[in-house]
Structure 1
Amino acid sequence: MDRFASPKTKEELLSSLHYIFPITNHKEIDQNTIIPAIEEKNNLGLNGQYAFWSEINNGVVCLIYDNNKPRQPHKALLLTTVQKPEQLDLNFANYFCKVFNDDIKTLPLSEKHSELWISLRQTQFRRAISKFSSFSTEPIIQWMQIVENSVSLRYENKPFSLCLFMTKQREWIQTPLGSRFIPFKKSIPFAKGIMAEKWLRAAMSSHNIGIAGVGFAGDLFGLFDIPYEESESDELFSPHEDLTSISKLLVKGTCLFITTENGDIYLQLANKSTFYKTQGRWHYLNYNNIYKMLKQFLNEEMSRSILKICLNLSYEKQGALILIPDVLATITEIIPDINQKNKANGDLRDSIKGLKITDKIQRRIITTSAKIDGALVISRTGTVQDVACMIGQPSPEKLAELKIEKLERYSGARTTAAWNASTYGISIKVSEDGPIMIFRHGMLITQIG
């Protein structure tokens, strides 16, 4: 059977697209729908015809081509997403779908090429990332493979973690860092330095020191002290706010690898896209999607601060629930025991109350407190109202006010709690596995991971 016509091929493409978009629904569309969607796209002057946003269908269209000459779209998936993707998201999806279609062309027969297809499937995301970057495909794929292998290494019985800045030109990192950068007397081959040089593992294990590589071969040419200075007005988001200053050095022709003691890998590109490998799978992340959504309801300073807390928790693999109520007057309904003298975690809750998430030092303390079971409740001006507290279940009157017929129940207790909390305003669930979901008034409004 031709691979492009196989139902399994459509399922495989859809499975991968879930690691790019927050998909809520999908359907296959026929030629009568595909052709107008492509014509609409061409009229907008957009390049490529593999994945794009269709206004007339209000969704993302992803194409699977046949193997005729010239190739024509055989089928298409129409994806409904939590929010309209940014053009950056669509650009990466287009690269991924092109890689997927090129593999279909290379291995056109489902049964005959099944083993080779499995091998290609395992590398599709990695190859799409390499094409999306500003580096040549071959070297960055090799770097990604070596970095993936490095997470199994240990130093003094601790998992090895690194901060690795890759650049086409030495001066793009060496000049802005100045005295923070210490060049090697002699460059070290990439694979040897990452996989075999134990002294490098010792130097980088605390994430205070990074390493830089240059050129096509990626030879390592120096160490640098990771700067932590940061302006609270920054709108560049890194997997953890302590890494924002090094992320700010990213320009076209550079990329940043970060690995964690949990075995996760982050790859940041200069276009503000982030790729994240956890539990054996690569994900595409665009932090700006959350920031943009939060700014619809909160001011910019609050939106930045909330997002930084969420990203820090996600990076550290700490689950949490955050609530920003619409109206503080309902606080006793939201937190039934807030005024009780012998409330659970009372000393902590009374101590943290009143701190501001917009203050970086206080935000560190608040973030640590948010890791404790219960919710972190913050006013719309950024003042902590409570922490490590239980959120009350919305009353029938509250549900009726929002025109919600019944309570929602999810497989995860924290997700259910986040939904309950969202009836009072904006609630954010950070999963221990990393994903972030934001609800408002009983609706999921955005998510990443």
Structure 2
Amino acid sequence: MRTRRPLVIVDALASLANAFKDIFPGSTTSSLSAADLAAQIEALGPRAALKPKVVPLDETRLAALLYFDQPTPQAGLLIDLWRPVRTSDSHFARAFCRVFNDDLTHVSAALPLNEHWASLEQTRLRRAVARFLNYRPHQMSNWIRAVEDSMALTYEGRAVRHCLIVARKAPKLVQKLQNKFIPLPGGISIENALLREKWIRTVVDGRRVALLGSMHSGNIIGFISLAEVDRNDAALRYAPHETLVPVQAVLGHSAHDVALVASPQGDLFILSGKGSVFQKTHGHWRVLDYEALHERLSLRFREDVVIGVLRAAIDLSFERTGALFCLLDSREDLTDFIPDHGHALAANSHLRRSLRGQNISVWAQRQVITAAAATDGAVVLDKDGSVLDIACMISSPREIARLGLREPSMPGARALAAWRASFRGVAINVSEDGPITVYERGATIGRIG
């Protein structure tokens, strides 16, 4: 057996740790000690030779194993999610680790990780997403790349933003869609449709129309009229934007179907019928774990309130619009928290008076609240989702002084306001760059993006 050079192992573990910090925001990583690694190999027994790659350790932790080109693990990484590990977490971590190990076998173990490794790193998460989503990962990776490439195209001066749904059992989906589906006689390969057929660039806008492709043939077989697709609450919870609820509703017919959506802001979203959502933004892939935030907030607030406030935050994140939502435990002493609350001459007084008492869990009212959330200031809600104040500035509440805490250095005024508000309940900060961060009692309890 060849001896692993320590530098290669250290570089590989560092690369894997950085990847998992992106995949699972808020997680922490550390290298498995030699004793812990030996214990894992012993516990796996003959299964170690089958390269399981990711092993659940307990409710919140996973172990990712690196084999290089050896029959048993040579190193390992401990990943603590600081929340319960779900089945989808394990499955995606396993898909990513499999791709990572395959890449290691293509890089010389006698040298430090080189530029060949760097080139593999650029496509690794895309290939892991393709492996996680599909029984034909090479094809799926090519289709993801075709959508990425199509986003550089324009039509009559407008950026092209395709929406593609790929169905594993396309005939069955067509039967369910009925008159919502319009066939394309003869079909066109997915790559040609996305990159060479100019007329598709204007027909498929992702709002009214989506392309339907067959996973089996690799061809576009027709169009889906999204306006006619029925919406449902399950799709509402997972779609990256309210306008994509019909797309997620179509995927609800099969756990194996996939949608590739280019947003007007230049991001690429991948949605699956399993409820998983991936995003490529600013050149980096992210796993958008909406369900983790939903579960965390559901411990404190009613289901309809959680869906309402997260739907608003997720929509604004998609639109690249900053906002701050504060869910308070109590209505008491609001003037300590909002200095000009109820003042006749307060800033934005007409807006604040008109929206006071509106509820974020009611669809029609949420549309106005979400639009108003883009105004400077916070949206302050009670635990039942009713607006207490909006477009208002908040100050440091007395709870912080009583605890003797010093305000931390934060990346922006909205983040600091969210930290302050979290001592009165839960605060949700939506960054203009897209990430959503949730605070409680001054601590980060959840993050998307």
CA distance in 1, matches of 2:236, 2:204: 27
CA-CA distance at 1:275 after TM superposition = 0.9
CA-CA distance at 1:25 after TM superposition = 3.4
* Counterpart for residue 325 of structure 1: 328
* Counterpart for residue 64 of structure 1: 66
CA distance in 2, matches of 1:393, 1:376: 16
* Counterpart for residue 385 of structure 2: 382
* Counterpart for residue 356 of structure 1: 359
CA-CA distance at 1:19 after TM superposition = 1.8
Summarize the Cα distance change of 1:3–1:114 in structure 2 as closer, same or farther, 3 Å threshold.
farther
CA-CA distance at 1:97 after TM superposition = 1.2
CA-CA distance at 1:153 after TM superposition = 1.3
Unaligned runs of at least 5 residues, structure 2: none
Counterparts in 2 of 1:159-198, with a 5 A limit?
159-198=159-198
> Which of 331, 334, 338 is the equivalent residue of 1:335?
338
- Partner SS, residue 414 of structure 1: helix
Structure 1 residue 23 and structure 2 residue 26: aligned? Answer: yes
CA distance in 1, matches of 2:41, 2:91: 16
* Counterpart for residue 294 of structure 1: 297
* Counterpart for residue 368 of structure 1: 371
CA distance in 2, matches of 1:41, 1:309: 45
Aligned-partner residue type, residue 442 of structure 1:
G
Aligned-partner residue type, residue 262 of structure 2:
T
Identity %: 29
Summarize the Cα distance change of 1:26–1:170 in structure 2 as closer, same or farther, 3 Å threshold.
closer
CA distance in 2, matches of 1:38, 1:322: 47
1:210-234 Cα distance to aligned partner (Å, 9 max, x none): 1111134421111121146434476
Decide whether the 8 Å contact of 1:354 with 1:384 is kept in 2: yes
Structure 1 residue 211 and structure 2 residue 211: aligned? Answer: yes
Structure 1 residue 246 and structure 2 residue 227: aligned? Answer: no
Summarize the Cα distance change of 1:53–1:407 in structure 2 as closer, same or farther, 3 Å threshold.
farther
1:149-170 Cα distance to aligned partner (Å, 9 max, x none): 0111122322211221101222
CA distance in 2, matches of 1:77, 1:172: 42
RCO higher in structure (CA 8 A, sep ≥6): 1
Q: Which moved more, 1:419-428 or 1:404-413?
A: 404-413
- Partner SS, residue 19 of structure 1: helix
Decide whether the 8 Å contact of 2:206 with 2:261 is kept in 1: no
CA distance in 1, matches of 2:312, 2:202: 29
Decide whether the 8 Å contact of 1:285 with 1:448 is kept in 2: yes
Counterparts in 2 of 1:90-129, with a 5 A limit?
90-109=90-109, 111=111, 114-129=114-129
CA distance in 2, matches of 1:352, 1:205: 33
- Partner SS, residue 152 of structure 1: coil
Aligned-partner residue type, residue 194 of structure 1:
L
Decide whether the 8 Å contact of 2:163 with 2:205 is kept in 1: no
Summarize the Cα distance change of 1:59–1:252 in structure 2 as closer, same or farther, 3 Å threshold.
closer
CA-CA distance at 1:39 after TM superposition = 6.1
CA-CA distance at 1:360 after TM superposition = 1.1
1:231-275 Cα distance to aligned partner (Å, 9 max, x none): 447674111123223212221331011111111001011221111
Structure 1 residue 146 and structure 2 residue 149: aligned? Answer: no
Summarize the Cα distance change of 1:369–1:224 in structure 2 as closer, same or farther, 3 Å threshold.
same
CA distance in 2, matches of 1:146, 1:40: 43
Aligned-partner residue type, residue 431 of structure 1:
S
Decide whether the 8 Å contact of 1:139 with 1:216 is kept in 2: no
What is the TM-score when the length of structure 1 is the normalising length? 0.91
RMSD of aligned Cα (Å): 2.6
1:156-204 Cα distance to aligned partner (Å, 9 max, x none): 3222112211012223432222212111122122122111222211122
CA-CA distance at 1:133 after TM superposition = 1.2
Decide whether the 8 Å contact of 1:23 with 1:80 is kept in 2: no
CA distance in 1, matches of 2:43, 2:305: 38
* Counterpart for residue 438 of structure 2: 438
CA distance in 1, matches of 2:240, 2:84: 22
CA-CA distance at 1:419 after TM superposition = 0.7
1:358-386 Cα distance to aligned partner (Å, 9 max, x none): 11121111111111121111111111111
Q: Which moved more, 1:207-216 or 1:362-371?
A: 207-216
Q: Which moved more, 1:113-122 or 1:363-372?
A: 113-122
* Counterpart for residue 225 of structure 1: 225
> Which of 37, 54, 57 is the equivalent residue of 1:54?
57
Decide whether the 8 Å contact of 2:131 with 2:137 is kept in 1: yes
CA distance in 1, matches of 2:44, 2:379: 44
Structure 1 residue 313 and structure 2 residue 305: aligned? Answer: no
Unaligned runs of at least 5 residues, structure 1: none
Decide whether the 8 Å contact of 1:203 with 1:209 is kept in 2: yes
Decide whether the 8 Å contact of 1:4 with 1:104 is kept in 2: no
CA-CA distance at 1:30 after TM superposition = 0.6
Decide whether the 8 Å contact of 1:356 with 1:363 is kept in 2: yes
Q: Which moved more, 1:230-239 or 1:158-167?
A: 230-239
What is the TM-score when the length of structure 2 is the normalising length? 0.91
CA distance in 1, matches of 2:182, 2:53: 44
- Partner SS, residue 429 of structure 2: strand
* Counterpart for residue 37 of structure 2: 34
* Counterpart for residue 282 of structure 1: 285
